[in-house]
Chains A and B, each alone.
Chain A
Amino acid sequence: MNPDRRQVLAWGAAATAAALAPGLRLVELAQARSPQEAASKLQRWGLLIDITKCGECDACVTACHEENGITSNARPATDAQWIRKVSLRDTRTGYAQTLPLMCQHCEHPPCVDVCPTGASFKRADGIVLVDKHTCIGCRYCVMACPYAARSFVHETVSGQKADVPRGKGTVEACTLCVHRVDRGATPACVEACGRDGGGAMAFGDLNDASSAIHRRLKSEPSSQIRADLALNTGVRYQGL
């Protein structure tokens, strides 16, 4: 289907959705794509993280590293890190908070701006990725990212997961578990947080008016980290 036709259909769907009672619609926009269908800019994948529910566990980090086959060489300074727990402490009152931080999947990603080969790119549905086939390992993107979300692979890798190829000399970061999202599943961190953690993380289509994440963003306060940079992040936080 050509993009114009799809756009028109989506407008049709949006109009239908508006005409019916809230929550009732004839066409479901957030269906999982079929494997033949390209990612669409009608969608924007994102996360909403309620840090009041985020405790002292690291279920999200463990699940991410398990899913993506990120192993440690016991050299923390150079080990790859796709997601990390950050602790905040108010120096006056001692009030402590903790939150998971990963690639924020910006609408205007600085990593993409600086990439000399076009390896760092944003997919139509908002997921920011590295095309490791064209990455030359210059690490400009690592420098440009305000969230320090990217890692460089310093050592030869073995035992990779079939879904997540990784190798020395390229940059990598959270992919929002793109291989799972493309088959209609949620990212591993979100699943683990719901199962073993505090249920602080939610995944969904920020554009889809019927999705839980859209409704919460519409009716509850939330924030972006470094909102002053106007990057319009796809990962939003509550309770910060």
Chain B
Amino acid sequence: MTRIAAGIIAAMLAVAGAADTPGRAAGRVALPVIKIEKGEACVAPTAQMRRDHMQMLLQQRDLTLHQGIREPRFSLKNCIDCHASRKTGSVLGKDGFCSSCHAYAAVSIDCFECHSPLRQAQAAARP
């Protein structure tokens, strides 16, 4: 009895191990492509960004629209300026910074129905 259970557990571990091998896993599930091309650090510690970036954006959205506060730090335009791919200039697409992670996490957002996903020349923006 114990022997069989141990055998099952071992088999499960082996399967889990195989799934963790990058080459094979990537074939079935598209992993997020987190390739940072600009900037040393994010606007907050990475662990916090992973967990809380949506709250930051929604908070900033209300401040900007209703009070006209346009501090760049948590502005969506600012995220895009750093995180857009150098190749496509966009945060969307197969390897896009926002879209690839969202695809992996099964999140769908409608922000880019309206907002441009492209990096803009910051010429006009103030510091």
List the A residue with the shortest CB-CB distance to B68. Answer: A39
Partner of B114, one of A36, A165, A178, A183: A165
A183 to chain B, nearest CB (A): 6
For chain B, the bracket of interface size reads: 20 to 34
- Docked complex: B84-127 residues within 8 A CB-CB of A: 110, 113-116, 118, 120, 124-126
Q: Are A125 and B68 in contact (CB under 8 A)?
A: yes
Question: For B70, what are the chain A residues with a Cβ–Cβ distance below 8 Å?
Answer: 35, 182-183
Q: Are B68 and A160 in contact (CB under 8 A)?
A: no
Q: Please list the residues of chain A having a beta carbon within 8 angstroms of any beta carbon in chain B.
A: 33, 35-39, 121, 123-125, 129, 131-133, 156-157, 159-163, 165-168, 170, 178, 182-183
- How far is A157 from B114 in the complex, measured between Cα atoms in Å? 7
Q: Does B71 contact A (CB under 8 A)?
A: yes
Of the listed residues B61, B68, B114, B125, the one surrounded by the most CB atoms of chain A closer than 10 A to its CB is B68
Q: Are B67 and A124 in contact (CB under 8 A)?
A: yes
Q: Are B116 and A162 in contact (CB under 8 A)?
A: yes
Question: For B66, what are the chain A residues with a Cβ–Cβ distance below 8 Å?
Answer: 121, 123, 131
Given A133-B65, A178-B68: A167 and B114 interface contact (C-beta under 8 Å): yes
- How far is A35 from B68 in the complex, measured between Cα atoms in Å? 8
A40 to chain B, nearest CB (A): 9
B46 to chain A, nearest CB (A): 25
Partner of B65, one of A129, A162, A167: A129
Q: Are A160 and B126 in contact (CB under 8 A)?
A: no
Q: A-B pairs with the 9 shortest C-beta distances?
A: A167-B114, A165-B114, A39-B68, A38-B67, A167-B113, A162-B120, A165-B115, A35-B70, A162-B116
A151 to chain B, nearest CB (A): 15
Given A35-B126, A168-B113, A183-B124: A162 and B118 interface contact (C-beta under 8 Å): yes
A49 to chain B, nearest CB (A): 24
Q: Are B69 and A37 in contact (CB under 8 A)?
A: yes
Question: What are 15 contact pairs spanning A and B, CB under 8 A?
Answer: A35-B69, A35-B70, A121-B66, A131-B65, A131-B66, A157-B113, A157-B114, A159-B116, A161-B116, A162-B80, A162-B116, A165-B115, A167-B110, A167-B113, A182-B70
List the B residue with the shortest CB-CB distance to A127. Answer: B68
Q: Does B72 contact A (CB under 8 A)?
A: yes
- How far is A161 from B121 in the complex, measured between Cα atoms in Å? 12
Q: Does B77 contact A (CB under 8 A)?
A: yes
Q: Are A35 and B71 in contact (CB under 8 A)?
A: yes
Partner of A166, one of B67, B114, B120: B114
List the A residue with the shortest CB-CB distance to B127. Answer: A35
B123 to chain A, nearest CB (A): 12
- How far is A125 from B118 in the complex, measured between Cα atoms in Å? 31
Partner of B116, one of A125, A165, A178: A165
Question: For A133, what are the chain B residues with a Cβ–Cβ distance below 8 Å?
Answer: 61, 65
